[in-house]
Chain A
Amino acid sequence: MNASEHLEERKEASTASLALVVGILIGSALAFVLATAPFSALLGPSQAAVPAMFHGLAAFLYLFVGTIGLYLAWRLWTGRIRAFADLQLLATVSATLSLLAIVFGNWLYIYYRAKDPASPRSWFLANVPVIHKIFFEFKEFIALFTLPLTVAAAFILWYYGAQVLDRKWMRYTVAVLLALAFFYLVVAFGLGAAVTKLKPA
């Protein structure tokens, strides 16, 4: 059997099997977590616990997907990518997770800037104003950059399909878009995590 025949014999995993694996993984994780800790203790007593959970979850998932996307973006840059279809999917998932992180971030922001002396914004302004005035303000803006960057990358990947592979500057453009999105994500994620560590909402 030569290499060409071997490749043609490969069959892709079905979408149903992928959904089953993801379902089993998430279900197992939830079962273990709920068996070892009460749900209320996981979220904490804060009113902002629910938006904080969703915002953090979306941002973390985006970081996970974005990391794989960054690797595939580099492969695309070099012109030696084998998983082009996966990159199309990952760029789309990244854009979706970016949107979700922004939407939940807006919800959480209401608690962050509440006119309550105990709110994180009030606390930072009273104690360490530089945290809010420089780091948080920068984070809240650059986090928004991830959405148009990933949407633009996903658009080009779907609009041109495999034609992207033959056009050097189009490969570079998509790779740069995804790399920049990852950069802004990491900066926003790091600053967000630091702010949450210092004073949770």
Chain B
Amino acid sequence: MSATAVERDRGVEVAWSPSPEQPRESGPAVAAPLAAALGMITLAVVNLGTAASKAFNEWVHGIGKLWMPGAEGIGPYSGKQTLSLLVWIGTWIVLHGALRNRDLNLGRWLIVFLVGIGIATTLLWPPVFEYLAGH
């Protein structure tokens, strides 16, 4: 028996939130990291696009200026954040709804998530995106 199980057997409170009565499906635990990775990949891809195209860069800046205070001074970075945020939250809502009653293999999806975040990090390393953008 693990240490945590012993603690719970003695009636010590272990969590702030009461645990759900029935075990919840693992789908939402896949959706949250996966949406986060999609948001990060979006940031990387949009940044690559802004490095490759001046017109796209201006469009991205325009997206930021739609709502972000100080976006004029922040520059296209405001639009990159906005698009990344939209994809992250948007895909999370969709994935959570689609997977909430599904029990998935968390280990497999954790690997998919790690590959995604690895791709995003690599694409955001300036020598890489500058090279891909043709500079």
Given A4-B10, A140-B77, answer yes or no on A152-B32 (Cβ-Cβ < 8 Å): yes
Are A169 and B110 in contact (CB-based, < 8 A)? yes
Are B73 and A113 in contact (CB-based, < 8 A)? yes
Q: When each residue 139-153 of chain A gets 1 if its CB lies under 8 Å from chain B and 0 otherwise, what string results?
A: 011101100110110
Tell yes or no: B107 within 8 A of A by CB. yes
**B residues in contact with A156, CB < 8 Å:** 28-29, 32
Main SS of the interface on chain A?
helix
Are A173 and B110 in contact (CB-based, < 8 A)? yes
Are A106 and B74 in contact (CB-based, < 8 A)? yes
**A residues in contact with B12, CB < 8 Å:** 7-8, 10
Tell yes or no: A162 within 8 A of B by CB. yes
**B residues in contact with A134, CB < 8 Å:** 126-127
**B residues in contact with A89, CB < 8 Å:** 16
Interface size on A, residues (CB 8 A): 49
Tell yes or no: A54 within 8 A of B by CB. no
Q: When each residue 8-35 of chain B gets 1 if its CB lies under 8 Å from chain A and 0 otherwise, what string results?
A: 1011111111111001101011001101
Q: Which B residue's beta carbon lies closest to that of A111?
A: B73
Q: Which B residue's beta carbon lies closest to that of A7?
A: B10
Nearest-Cβ distance from residue B108 to partner chain A, whole angstroms: 9
Are B10 and A80 in contact (CB-based, < 8 A)? no
**B residues in contact with A142, CB < 8 Å:** 121, 124
Are B84 and A144 in contact (CB-based, < 8 A)? yes
**B residues in contact with A85, CB < 8 Å:** 13-16
* A110 interface neighbour in B15, B17, B70, Cβ under 8 Å: B70
Q: Which A residue's beta carbon lies closest to that of B78?
A: A106
Tell yes or no: A138 within 8 A of B by CB. yes
Tell yes or no: B81 within 8 A of A by CB. yes
Are A155 and B23 in contact (CB-based, < 8 A)? no
Given A106-B68, A162-B8, A167-B26, answer yes or no on A152-B17 (Cβ-Cβ < 8 Å): no
Q: B residues engaging A (CB < 8 A)? A: 2-5, 7-8, 10-20, 23-24, 26, 28-29, 32-33, 35-36, 39-40, 43-44, 47, 68, 70, 73-75, 77-78, 80-81, 84, 88, 105-107, 110, 114, 117, 120-121, 124-127, 130
Q: What are 6 A-B residue pairs whose CB atoms fall within 8 Å in the complex?
A: A79-B2, A80-B4, A110-B70, A142-B121, A148-B35, A173-B29
Q: A residues engaging B (CB < 8 A)? A: 4, 7-8, 10, 79-82, 84-85, 88-89, 102, 106-107, 109-110, 113-114, 133-134, 137-138, 140-142, 144-145, 148-149, 151-152, 155-156, 158-163, 165, 167, 169-170, 172-173, 176-177, 180
